[in-house]
Structure formats: C-alpha cells, structure tokens
A = this chain, B = another copy of it.
C-alpha cells in the first residue's frame, strides 16, 4: 500500500561520511544482513570473517571498514567507512518507521500521590502508580502499569517501559532506560537459622542506578541489606539478569542475558559477563575482565583477564581441559606401544 522509500547511495554515503567505490547511481530501498538482503538493499560487513558472504549476497551496496580488502568486493558497490556497524545502524534508522511518541501529561487512570513531585514534560501512562514522597524528573516517561515506590527518585530524560516495579527509596539517574517486567528494589535473599526456624534478615538498603544505565526486560535487582546495590554510570544489562543485594557494578560494564551476580560481588569497570554466567558472592571481578558464557566464577578475576568454564579458569587451562579426551587417547596408544616393546624384551 505504502510507496517504497528510496534513498540515493550518495545521500547515504554523505550522511555517514563514507566513500563510495562502485556504482554511485544506486537507489537504496531497504536494509538487511548480507544473507537476507534483496536487490536494492544496503547491507554491511561487521566482521571480516564473513567477507566470503559478499560474493553471494543480493545486496546492492555494502558498508565495509577501512581494513577491507577490495578484492573481496567481487563486483559489488561498497561504501568504505569508519565503523560499518554504526553506519548500518544510521541507515536502519532512515528506513525505520518513526519512533513511537508518548503524549506529554499524566493519564487519567494513573494514581499519583499528592506528595509526589513530578517534573515538567513528563508522560505518565495509564494505571501507573506513583507512591508518596517520590520525585520524577523532567522529560521522563513512565509507561502504563509501572509502580514507583515511596520516596524513590527518578532523574531526567529517563524512560520506563510498561509494567516495571521499582520499590521504595531507590535512586534512578538521568537518561536511564528500563525495559518491561523488570523489578528493582526487591528484598535481598537473606536468612539466618534461628532457634525457632529460619529468620528473615531485614533488607533496609536501596538500589542506586546511575546515569545512562540501560536495563533489559524481566531483570531483578535486589535492594541492599544495608547501604546500596549499585549500578554505576553506563552499565548495560540484557534481559533476565539477576543482581543480588549489595552488588556493585562498575562503569560501562555489560551483563549479558540470564547471567546472575550473587550478593556483595564487586564488578569492575568495562567488564563483560557473558550470557548465563554466574558470579559467586563476595568476589571481585577486575576492571576490563571477560567472563565466558555459562561460566561459574568462584574466585576473584584479575583486571583484563578472560576466564571460562565452571569453576571458571583462564582460557588456556580451559582448552587443556577441553582437549583432555584426545590427550588421554594418545597416552593410551603410547602405553600400548610400550607394552609391546616390553613384551619383546621380556620374551
């Protein structure tokens, strides 16, 4: 029904400061990965190891980096640029439908405590609940069904998707994005064996989320036993990540899907915890370290180190362990040979 959008390759190259090599008269009609591209589409080579896909793609033009070997271009038109992935992202946005606009104002069905301090230019969606003594900063969006607990403060330009729960006394910074279904400020898991059974230890601390943090869907971030559970500036969480009480995550670290950080662990700056990894309580991951997917980390990791496996160990040791069946097969063969030589001697 709608006409196909067309953008000239010259306009595209100009917008991302790239250099066209090939046919500069092409009109681009869509975007896609190399494998799924159609004629007229713009694609990108994000990683040189996929260069062989270029000769087979139907894409009409491809973003490549400065390190691209032009012989790999086959007869395709390329745009050489600083960062093919980023350039591609910019073109995606050109073809994308306009972002959803949430109207300014407070929905009639939202329930806002009279003591709440609400900034300017906010959107507060239907059935959102804002409890007493909260502060909501300017230009912040709180979508339908969100719950903001007592005395919690939320900064400016922050965006909460629907059905998020943030309990009392938490501190959420500026330009924070939180995806649906996430819980912030639930009690940490703390019990003591008492004379009459298990006794719950009060969890009276808070969660502090600093500026520019993004938190995926259905994550859980527990409040501290005392003090704070703390995600520092620029931290990014994927979906279904669990952060326990009193954990501190350093600036710009990334916690990937379904990983979990146990209580009081300290994660340094720029750390990547890959998918499904588990980090023990009370340990420290040094700045810039990398934790392999599904790993179980049971002791401190040095800054910059890469560990993998359960219990997690350096990649070299993990590989030694991984090839152990082959190593043992060789030993068996050697043993057999020795036995034969022995027999000969004995015989």
Contacts and interface: CB of A to CB of B under 8 A. Distances in A.
Given A111-B107, A186-B239, A278-B294, A129 B100 contact: no
Contact of A96 (B183, B204, B278): B204
B262 A278 contact: no
A252 B198 contact: yes
B325 A86 contact: no
B179 A238 contact: no
A296 interface: yes
A294 B293 contact: no
Interface string A173-205: 000010111110011010110100111111010
Contact of A256 (B187, B189, B264, B338): B189
Interface string A294-323: 101000000000000111000001001110
B331 A332 contact: yes
A4 interface: no
Copies in the complex: 3
Interface string A100-113: 10000001010100
A222 interface: yes
Nearest to A248: B36
Interface string A67-79: 0000000000000
A217 interface: yes
Contact of A331 (B127, B216, B328, B342): B328
A138 interface: no
Interface of A: 31-33, 36, 83, 85-86, 89, 92-93, 95-97, 100, 107, 109, 111, 125-127, 129, 143-145, 147, 149-151, 161-163, 165, 167-169, 177, 179-183, 186-187, 189, 191-192, 194, 197-202, 204, 212, 214, 216-220, 222, 225-227, 234, 236, 238-240, 242, 244, 246, 252, 254, 256-258, 260, 262, 264, 275-276, 278, 280, 293-294, 296, 309-311, 317, 320-322, 324-325, 327-328, 331-332, 334-335, 338-339, 341-342, 345-346
**Which 5 pairs show the lowest CB-CB distances between chains A and B?**
A96-B204, A165-B180, A186-B217, A183-B217, A147-B162
